[in-house]
């Protein structure tokens, strides 16, 4: 199993999900510059039986900072590449370090002035969720969601190709997966398990009905078309990616080039810590909680 870092596994920043040939040089650069993963404070350790770890006081619920950002927390549902609710996602919340949450508020203000809203798909991700991804990737028989999320990738290559690994930058609390929605926001279609799936690379009118602007692929699409500046993505789709990228960069975020949706706030308060507290308001101190 690869010991390099990637968005769903070991991370130098957030992850590496490029194809083997195209990504080899980038992987070596990331690995060479990556700080060694360190043991985090008590919140980073696996929970003792009957006692869950708590978040450091620097973590907040995004809704306590900005209630206008839309939420579509996919790992708290069955609509994701695994096909099950992911371990650790007890509530559909966006938990982040406070500096990252305040930077998102800044970006959201600018986007709303232009008629858009941010929508978050994933924020802080507990280590137990990453472990869930690893177990799933090691099960070749479970390919329920292949047609939508990895239609052109053999599941046996997910580790080798860098799509899955053992730690994630999301577990440090300052990384977010997100998109833009044109206001007034339409509705995202309901996901019904068992219905026919459509590839994430299909035209927007054919794939899952997300209320996101057209970014050229669906969220969490394991394909090189998801690379932010892929030359095959042109026209409105490219303009939408660049609109998101430039707006978030002005607020202090850095894009992961292999995923148009993936951004990390810099500097990170916890650059070497990987936490495991559950996604739940009870994980937070009182100051960081939003109202129900």
Please say if the pLDDT value at position 246 is more than 70. Answer: yes
| pLDDT, mean of residues 66-86 | 99
- Considering the domain boundaries, does residue 183 fall inside one? yes
Reported confidence tier of residue 287, pLDDT bands at 50, 70, 90: low
| pLDDT, mean of residues 270-280 | 98
**Residue 78 structure tokens:** 């069955």
Percent residues over pLDDT 90 in the chain = 76
**Residue 61 structure tokens:** 């619920």
Report d(CA 161, CA 154) in Å as an integer: 10
Closest CA to 265 of 172, 186, 182: 172
Report d(CA 102, CA 250) in Å as an integer: 13
| pLDDT, mean of residues 231-244 | 99
Closest CA to 43 of 32, 34, 33, 54: 54
Q: Regarding predicted confidence, which is higher, 5 or 274? A: 274
- Considering the domain boundaries, does residue 8 fall inside one? no
Tell me how many degrees the CA angle 198-199-200 measures, rounded to the nearest 5: 115
Per the CB < 8 A criterion, the answer to whether 131 and 157 are in contact is no
Closest CA to 60 of 271, 292, 290, 269: 290
- Considering the domain boundaries, does residue 6 fall inside one? no
Reported confidence tier of residue 289, pLDDT bands at 50, 70, 90: low
pLDDT value at position 46?
47
Please say if the pLDDT value at position 36 is more than 50. Answer: no
pLDDT value at position 26?
40
Which listed residue (259, 268, 291, 292) is catalytic? 259
Q: Which residue has the tokens 């939408």?
A: 240
pTM of the entire structure? Answer: 0.85
Q: Regarding predicted confidence, which is higher, 165 or 14? A: 165
Which residue segment(s) compose the domain that 31 sits in? 20-49+59-285
**Residue 110 structure tokens:** 């600018």
CATH code: domain of residue 189: 3.30.1380.10
- Considering the domain boundaries, does residue 174 fall inside one? yes
Reported confidence tier of residue 7, pLDDT bands at 50, 70, 90: low
Reported confidence tier of residue 6, pLDDT bands at 50, 70, 90: low
> Is 259 part of the annotated catalytic residue set?
yes
- Phi-psi map region of 213: left, alpha, beta (phi>0 left; psi -120 to 50 alpha): beta
| pLDDT, mean of residues 145-165 | 93
| pLDDT, mean of residues 89-109 | 99
- Considering the domain boundaries, does residue 15 fall inside one? no
Number of domains in the chain: 1
- Considering the domain boundaries, does residue 71 fall inside one? yes
Please say if the pLDDT value at position 183 is more than 60. Answer: yes
- Considering the domain boundaries, does residue 12 fall inside one? no
- Considering the domain boundaries, does residue 5 fall inside one? no
Report d(CA 120, CA 262) in Å as an integer: 10
């Amino acid at each position: 199993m690869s010991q390099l870092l990637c968005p769903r596994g070991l991370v130098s920043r957030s992850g590496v999900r490029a194809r083997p040939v195209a990504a080899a040089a980038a992987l070596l650069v990331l690995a060479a510059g990556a700080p060694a993963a360190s043991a985090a404070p008590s919140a980073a350790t696996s929970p003792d039986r009957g006692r869950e770890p708590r978040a450091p006081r620097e973590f907040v619920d995004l809704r306590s900072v900005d209630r206008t950002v839309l939420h579509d927390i996919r790992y708290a549902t069955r609509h994701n590449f695994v096909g099950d609710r992911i371990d650790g996602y007890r509530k559909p919340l966006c938990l982040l370090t406070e500096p990252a949450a305040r930077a998102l508020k800044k970006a959201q203000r600018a986007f709303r002035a232009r008629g858009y809203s941010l929508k978050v798909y994933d924020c802080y991700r507990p280590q137990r969720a990453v472990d869930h991804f690893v177990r799933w990737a090691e099960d070749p028989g479970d390919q329920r969601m292949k047609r939508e999320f990895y239609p052109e990738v053999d599941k046996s290559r997910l580790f080798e190709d860098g799509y899955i690994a053992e730690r994630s930058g999301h577990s440090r609390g300052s990384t977010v997966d997100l998109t833009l929605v044109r206001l007034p926001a339409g509705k995202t279609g309901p996901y019904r398990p068992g219905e026919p799936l459509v590839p994430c690379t299909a035209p927007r009118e054919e794939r899952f009905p997300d209320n996101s602007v057209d970014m050229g692929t669906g969220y969490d699409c394991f394909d090189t078309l998801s690379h932010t500046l892929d030359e095959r993505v042109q026209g409105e789709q490219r303009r939408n990616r660049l609109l998101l990228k430039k707006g978030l960069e002005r607020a202090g975020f850095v894009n992961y080039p292999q995923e148009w949706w993936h951004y990390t706030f810099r500097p990170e308060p916890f650059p070497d810590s990987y936490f495991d507290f559950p996604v739940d308001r009870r994980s937070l101190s009182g100051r960081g909680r939003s109202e129900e």
